[in-house]
Amino acid sequence: MFTSNPFAELSASIAPSVMQTYIVVMIILVALGTIYDVLHKKSAQYFRANMQKSKAEGSKVGGGEKISIAIKTAVVDVAASGEFCNTKRRIAHLLGMYGFVFFALATVVMVFCYPTSDVATPAIWPQLWWLGAAMVCVGGYWFWFFIRADVSAEGGSPFRLMKADLFVLSLLGSATFALVWGYLQAKGHDWTTIAFWLHIIFTTILFGSVPWSKFAHMFFKPAAAFEKRLSVANGTRSNLPAPADQPEQFGSVDHRPRNY
């Protein structure tokens, strides 16, 4: 089960070209949704203005130091999710983030490179697909039921839904029903088709709701993290929260912009 390509078996009922077209459409939706989000919230304008202000008011930062800051941003803030001071939140986020990367990458490779059973799929790709979906579920459900501030700190119900929850819930739905579909398909169960279409519905919501969810934030966070570290380096104060590993540079004031 963990070494077989679920999409190769699916190709008996859905043409590989249809599956490939669906993935391309989802990628286009993410691109268009992110562009809309940038224009609507004026995120690019906001970061550009901050960078210009930081450059004008602060001391000059050399090219070598900027490269060092960019590397630290990529390693600490992006790859290691250094923005999270709470260990549990960081672990849950890393599980979801890397799980999503494994899950999405394996899906694309299997659909485009090994779309039918005529071409043997290397075991690593189905295994990454299963592992990625499982990581998303572990990190996502752990966060949803035990780590969220309104649940763990405020005693709120984990079943209270808000617009901000659209991203995590659609991601969890996509990964959960992918696992259910893969399992039922391997067992030859009658409900396989239902599980597959539920997976598709949640996946479509995930990628199609970018303008209304937090999906686009994953593209903004690296820019915000870089701007924060640059403002520390040139001696100015960013109006974003300080880097988690440099809180003393900003004091205890939270300068978080309200639309983020």
What pLDDT does 76 receive? 85
226-237 pLDDT, tens digit each: 777 877 777 775
What pLDDT does 150 receive? 60
Binned at pLDDT 50, 70 and 90, residue 225 comes out as: confident
Binned at pLDDT 50, 70 and 90, residue 84 comes out as: confident
DSSP for 111-141, written as a single string: HHHS-STTSPPPTHHHHHHHHHHHHHHHHHH
Alpha-carbon distance of 107 to 197, in angstroms, equals 16
What pLDDT does 155 receive? 56
Percentage of residues in the chain having pLDDT higher than 90: 47
Binned at pLDDT 50, 70 and 90, residue 121 comes out as: very high
Both tokens of 209, joined, read: 């709701």
Q: Tell me: pLDDT of 196 over 60.
A: yes
11-20 pLDDT, tens digit each: 999 999 999 9
What pLDDT does 100 receive? 97
Cα dihedral 31→33→37→43 (10° resolution)? -10
Long-range contacts of 234-240 (CB under 8 A, 24+ apart): 234/54, 234/55, 234/58, 234/59, 234/60, 234/61, 235/58, 235/59, 236/53, 236/54, 236/57, 236/58, 238/50, 238/54, 239/50, 240/50
Locate the domains of the chain by residue range.
Answer: 6-249
Q: Tell me: pLDDT of 178 over 50.
A: yes
- pLDDT greater at residue 205 or residue 219: 205
| Crossing angle for the helix pair 16-41 and 87-113, to the nearest 10 degrees | 140
Mean pLDDT score of the chain: 83
Ramachandran class of 155: left when φ > 0, alpha when ψ lies in -120 to 50, beta otherwise: left
85-114 pLDDT, tens digit each: 788 989 999 999 999 999 999 999 999 999
What pLDDT does 221 receive? 74
CA 181 from chain centre, in angstroms, equals 22
CA 132 from chain centre, in angstroms, equals 12
What pLDDT does 199 receive? 98
Q: Tell me: pLDDT of 71 over 50.
A: yes
Percentage of residues in the chain having pLDDT higher than 70: 78
Q: Tell me: pLDDT of 119 over 90.
A: no
